[in-house]
Amino acid sequence: MRSEVRPRRFTKRPAMAVAAITAVTALITTAGCSGNTADATGVGSGAKADVKALGPGTKNVPKENPVEVGVLYTDDNPLGIAPEILDGAEAAAQYVNSHGGVGGRAVKIVACNGKNNSQSNAQCAAKFVNSGVVTVYGLDALWGDVGVAVAAKAGLASQTLPISGPEFAASNSYAWQGSGFTASAAAASYIAEQKVVGACAYVDVPAFKEQCVDYFQKPARQLGAKTSVLAIPPGASDVSQYATRLSQTHAKTVLVTSSGQVAQQLIKSSAQTGYRPQWILPSQRADFFKALGSQVKGVIFYNDLVDSSDPGNRDAAIFRAAIAKWAPHMTVNAFSTMAFSNIVTLARLGNQVGGDKITRAGLPSLLAKVKDLPQFMGPTLDSDNHLPGFPHALHTGAYLYQWDGSTYKRAGKGYYTVPGSTG
């Protein structure tokens, strides 16, 4: 029976900008390894790069009349940086342009550093509008508050990582990722499937509270799972008391939506009291694994896309080979993988409908009517299947991977959709 769980409609809040910056800072400091705790090629994570995975390729496509794509990234900001977004997009452009392009047209990257501030985001929006890009990918904390509306006035699609309401709900937003929304619901579905008591711990800012309360607890209850939530004050230097409170919930599986540092402290403090639940976390950087050592074994990590070290996934093999060839020094994490995936998925759309149709004016209607589009390293996208309440959000689930001490293996059935996703 279909669940009728519906997400709370996003509304403007005075603290939205602060919450967005807090959320994106935590994302940047946690979105680590997407399956790579060793290096960019996946060595040490269960899979190596094999250049044969790239296939024979084609002649490089002509540079004339390219498909221009805006790439928003964050650099030069003490709150956090993610220049690897640009690295991933440029590597994807190299791959696409040597394998037929976007329906025969080359990809050209138009990059802009949002710097996590309003003025730079406005400048980036103007740059994208004036340069003729057909869509915008990437991430910056204030794009949802500043850039999406500017892009909409120019008829420009926005496909940035959705960390704010407008990036899900605006008329010109066509997110190909689900971010914390789908990840939290995936955790809820996993807990219900395992028939255990669950909990969600979060740093008490609106974005993380929303993940736990609206996108985890409500779906879990609708699926019949018993859950609770635990708020941790921002800036708490000692989380041991919250680890104790968490143990008192008797949760067997715990989702943590916060920075890697808070997750580390929770895991360590809980273990000291003998409480060792099944943890579910965002993907983490290599220093997280180093800090926790053997305590990381068994932890489940979530992501919008398949793990880049997955030995059984053909797209992951292509990704590893492409990075080894065109970006061997790139930081491989959830952001760089996302950027690479978006560019290649756009190419697949162009191959479906014809490169001449990938224009600023034409792309929104194509994105609204996507049919059986295989997302690179992701699920099949179809406009008949979208997030409840958001008809343009076609990425309706998240992948769960469990770290066994040396490799990642899919947890449970591996991919979980948001309850209530519908056409």
pLDDT of residue 50: 75
* Token representation of residue 380: 């099949």
3-state secondary structure of 418: coil
Q: Report the sign of the C-alpha dihedral through residues 39, 42, 43, 48, in that order.
A: negative
3-state secondary structure of 129: helix
Q: What domains, with CATH codes, occur in the chain?
A: 37-178+308-383 (3.40.50.2300), 181-303+413-417 (3.40.50.2300)
Judge contact between 138 and 87, C-beta under 8 A. no
What's the CA gap between 82 and 140, in Å, rounded?
9
DSSP3 helix / strand / coil % (the chain, rounded to 5): 40, 15, 40
Judge contact between 320 and 42, C-beta under 8 A. yes
Beta bridge partners of 138: 72
pLDDT of residue 81: 65
Judge contact between 179 and 393, C-beta under 8 A. no
pLDDT of residue 286: 83
Q: Whole-prediction pTM value?
A: 0.88
Walk along the chain (423 residues) and give the pLDDT tens digit of each residue: 323 333 333 333 334 444 554 555 555 545 544 444 333 333 334 456 777 788 877 767 888 999 999 999 988 655 556 789 999 999 999 999 999 999 999 999 999 999 888 999 999 999 999 999 999 999 988 899 899 999 999 999 999 998 888 998 999 999 999 988 999 999 999 999 999 999 999 999 888 898 999 999 999 999 999 999 999 999 888 899 999 999 999 999 999 998 788 999 999 999 999 999 999 999 888 889 999 999 999 999 999 999 999 988 999 999 999 999 999 999 998 899 999 999 999 999 999 999 999 999 999 999 999 999 999 999 999 999 999 889 999 999 999 999 999 999 999 999 999 988 864
Beta bridge partners of 410: 401
Judge contact between 118 and 141, C-beta under 8 A. no
Judge contact between 308 and 377, C-beta under 8 A. yes
What's the CA gap between 164 and 277, in Å, rounded?
30
Where do runs of H (alpha helix) occur along 213-307? 218-222, 240-248, 260-272, 286-292
Q: What SS3 string covers 173-213?
A: ECCCCCHHHHHHHHHHHHHHHHCCCEEEEEECCHHHHHHHH
Q: How many C-beta neighbours within 10 Å does residue 279 have?
A: 20
Judge contact between 304 and 399, C-beta under 8 A. yes
Judge contact between 323 and 330, C-beta under 8 A. yes
pLDDT of residue 386: 93
